Amino acid sequence: MINKLIEKIQKTQAPIVVGLDPMMKYVPGQIQKAAFAEYGETLEGAAEAIWQYNKGIVDAIYDLVPAVKPQIAMYEQFGIPGLVAFKKTVDYCKEKGLVVIGDIKRGDIGSTSEAYAVGHLGKVQVGANAFYGFDEDFVTVNPYLGSDGVKPFIKVCKEEKKGIFVLVKTSNPSSGEFQDRVVDGKPLYEIVGEKVAEWGADCMGDSYSYVGAVVGATYPEQGKLLRKVMPKAFILVPGYGAQGGKGADLVHFFNEDGLGAIINSSRGIIAAFQQEKYAKYGEANYAEASRAAVLDMKEDIAGALAARA
Amino acid sequence: MINKLIEKIQKTQAPIVVGLDPMMKYVPGQIQKAAFAEYGETLEGAAEAIWQYNKGIVDAIYDLVPAVKPQIAMYEQFGIPGLVAFKKTVDYCKEKGLVVIGDIKRGDIGSTSEAYAVGHLGKVQVGANAFYGFDEDFVTVNPYLGSDGVKPFIKVCKEEKKGIFVLVKTSNPSSGEFQDRVVDGKPLYEIVGEKVAEWGADCMGDSYSYVGAVVGATYPEQGKLLRKVMPKAFILVPGYGAQGGKGADLVHFFNEDGLGAIINSSRGIIAAFQQEKYAKYGEANYAEASRAAVLDMKEDIAGALAARA
C-alpha cells in the first residue's frame, strides 16, 4: 500500500491528504435539511448529513489527491450511526481509488492492539469465515505502550500489505508536555522516531517503509530533525492551514527525492466555503470551494518545494 | 460517579472490576452454536455470541462487584455489529446497577478529544436535540498528546459527573520502553502521574478525584511510588491474574483508608471455566465458574489487605 500511495502522489503531483473530519457546523444547510427531513434530528440524521457532505467533497476532489484521512472521532461522537457513516465513507473513498488513512490513534497492550489491528486493517475469524471490519489502508497508532502495543499492527500490515503512521510529534500546542521531555540528552519524540525507524527497517516497500510517522506541520524544526532520524519513514504531516502550518514550513519534511511526506489539511479544505477566500462559491457549491482549496494547497506546496531546489 | 464507585466498593467489599473483553475462543460452544444458527458465521453472529456470553457473566456477578470494564477493541474487531454488542453490554450493565468503565484509551488533539469525550461520556448536539452516543460512566484516556488532549474529557466529566482514568504506567512487558525513560532524574510515568494529580486537583468527589490513573499490577514498586505522587487519584489496576499480578503485590496501590484502587481481572474471570481450577463447572456453567473466580479474587485481595493492617 505504501507503493500505491507513492505512485498516486507521483501521478497527482500532490503530496496531499484531505482530512474528512466532518463537524455539523461545517455541513451546508441544504444537506442538513434533507437529512433531517428523512431521519429527523437524530443520530441517524446527523450520520446521513455527514455522509452526504463527505460524498460531495470526495466527488469533487478524488482526481486531485492520492488519499483521504477520515478522523474516526468525528463519527464516533454520533455513536453507532456515526460509525456506519465512517464505514460508508471508507468504502466509498476506496471505490473512488483513494488511499484511506484511518485516523484512529489506537494503541494498547499486545492482545488488545491485535484486536484493533484486525478490526481496522485485517480480517477477523468467525467460525470458518473471515471478515474485514473497517478495512482502511493505513491507520495511525499511539506508541505510549511501547513495542508490544505497536507490533501487532505491523504483523497485520505485513499480511495485508497495508501500513501505519506512528504518532511521534503531534501538531497540538501541548504536544511538548511529554513528547519534548529530554531523555539522555534527546527529546522523547526523537527516541520514538528512532523506534519507528527500527520497527520499519524490515517493513520496506520499494523505496519507503510501510511503518511511517506522524509529525505536526506546526513543528518544522522538529520535522527537519526527524526527517534525518527516520530517512525511510513516510511522514504524515497534520496541522497545515487551520492549525497554522504553511507550505514553506514543510519543505524539510521531504527528502531530496521530493517524497517522504504527505501533508494533511482538514478544515481548510472541507470547510473552505466558510472562509472569506472561497465565500464566492456559497454554501450550495461547497464541494467546488473544497476543490479550489485543494488546488491552492497543491500550488503552495509545489512552490515551496521548487523554491528549495 | 467517583462517589458512586466508592459507595459500591464499600457495599460489595470488593475493589474489583471485571474486564468484559470477550474473545471467540472464550465463548462456550453452546452459545456460539445458537448465535451462528440464528445469524450464520457472520459478524452479526459473532456479535450475538459475545453479547450472550457477556450477559451470562453479568447476570452471575453483578451483585458481587461494583464495576465492569468492557475493552472496546474486542468489540471493534467485529466492525459495526461488534460495536452494537459493545453498546448493548454498556446499557445492560448500567441497568444492572454496575459502574461501567469504557476501556477505550482514546486521546487526540483538543477538538478531536472533545468529539471522543462527547461520544463516550457526554451528549452530542443534533439540531435541537442532544443524544448520548455510548454513555459509559468512566473511560480510559491516553496522555501522549498532553494537556490539551486530556482536558476536553475532564470538561465533559464535570458536566456529566463522570470520570476518567489516564494511562500512567501500563501493565504490558514493553511499557517501560517510553514510560520508564528518565527525565530530570524521574521516570516519565512519574511526570505523567504528577500531571494526573494536577489535572485532578479541582475535580474532587467527596474524597477522591474523578481524574484517576491506570497503573499495572505487574509493576508493584511503581505502584507504591505513584500512590504517593497522586494521593487523591483512584487507580485502576489491570494485570491481575492472567497477566501475572497477585493480591500481595497490590496492597501498595491502596491508601491507608483501604480505598484508592480498583483491581481489574478479565480473562481470569470471564474465561475461568477454561482454567483447571474451575474446570468442574464445565462449559455449560461458565458463568458460575466466573462467579467462583470473583469470590476467590475478592478473598485474595481482602486477605492481602488484612495482612498489611
pLDDT tens for each residue of A98-153: 999 999 999 999 999 999 999 999 999 999 999 999 999 999 999 999 999 999 99
- 8 A C-beta contact, residue B115 and residue A73: yes
In which band, very low, low, confident or very high, does the pLDDT at B228 lie, cut at 50, 70 and 90?
very high
Chain A CA closest to residue B21: A112
| List A4, A8, A55, A105, catalytic entry | A105
Residues of chain B contacting residue A156, judged by C-beta atoms under 8 Å apart = none
| Catalytic annotation present for B105 | yes
pLDDT of amino acid B242: 67
CB contact under 8 Å between B188 and A170, yes or no, is no
Give the closest of A107, A174, A192 to B142, CB-based: A107
Residue bearing cell 528549495:
A308
CB-CB: which of A79, A106, A144 is closest to B178? A144
Secondary structure, 3-state, chain A: CHHHHHHHHHHHCCCEEEEECCCHHHCCHHHHHHHHHHHCCCHHHHHHHHHHHHHHHHHHHCCCCCEEEEECHHHHCCHHHHHHHHHHHHHHHHHCCCEEEEEEEECCCHHHHHHHHHHHCCEEEECCEEEECCCCCEEEECCCCCHHHHHHHHHHHHHHCCEEEEEEECCCHHHHHHHCCEECCEEHHHHHHHHHHHHHCCCECCCCEEEEEEECCCCHHHHHHHHHHCCCEEEEECCEHHHCECHHHHHHHCCCCCCCEEEEECHHHHCHHHCHHHHHHCHHHHHHHHHHHHHHHHHHHHHHHHHHC
A266 contacts: CB under 8 Å, gap ≥ 6: A18, A19, A20, A21, A69, A71, A238, A241, A242
Per the CB < 8 A criterion, the answer to whether A116 and A165 are in contact is no
Predicted confidence band of residue B241 (pLDDT cuts 50, 70, 90):
confident
Residue B30 forms contact with A (CB below 8 Å): no
Position B246 scores a pLDDT of 77
Average pLDDT, integer, range B179-206: 96
Residue of chain A whose alpha carbon sits nearest to that of B85 = A80
Contact B29, B283 (CB under 8 A): yes
| pLDDT score of A141 | 98
Residue A259 CA to residue A15 CA, distance in Å, equals: 8
Check B178 against A191: CB less than 8 A apart.
yes
Reported residue count of chain B is 309
Give me the pLDDT at residue A309, please.
67
pLDDT band at B260 (very low <50, low <70, confident <90, very high): very high
Taking residues B253-261, report their average pLDDT. Answer: 95
CB within 8 Å of chain B, chain A residues 254-283? none
Question: Among B88, B94, B96, B105, which one carries the catalytic annotation?
Answer: B105
Distance between CA B204 and CA B202 in Å, rounded? 6
B123-126 vs B129-132, strand pairing mode: antiparallel
Number of CB atoms found within 10 A of residue A39's CB: 17
Looking at residue A249, its pLDDT comes to: 83
All three cell numbers of B107, joined, read 486521546
Condensed to tens digits (0 to 9), the pLDDT of residues A15-55 reads 999 999 999 999 999 999 999 999 999 999 999 999 999 99
B127-176 per-position pLDDT tens digit: 999 999 999 999 999 999 999 999 999 999 999 999 999 999 999 999 99
Q: Which of the residues B38, B111, B126 would you substitute to probe the A interface, choosing the one with the greatest number of A C-beta atoms within 10 Å?
A: B126
Mean pLDDT (chain B, rounded): 96
CA-nearest residue to A120 within chain B is B77
- Give the pLDDT confidence score for residue B309 in this predicted structure: 67
Q: Looking at the complex, report in whole angstroms how far the Cα of residue A20 sits from the nearest Cα belonging to chain B.
A: 12
| Structure ipTM | 0.97
Whether pLDDT at A14 is above 80:
yes
Determine what percent of chain A is predicted with pLDDT higher than 70: 99
**pLDDT tens, residue by residue, B33-86:** 999 999 999 999 999 999 999 999 999 999 999 999 999 999 999 999 999 999
Establish if A25 touches chain B: CB-CB under 8 angstroms: no
Mark yes or no for CB contact A124/B172 under 8 Å: no
Is residue A241 scored above 90 in pLDDT?
A: no
Contacts of B182 in chain A (CB under 8 A): 183-184
Q: Among the listed ranges A67-81, A155-169, A238-252, which one has the minimum average pLDDT value?
A: A238-252
State whether B147 and A175 contact (CB < 8 Å): no
Q: Among B170, B207, B5, B177, which Cα is nearest to B101's?
A: B5
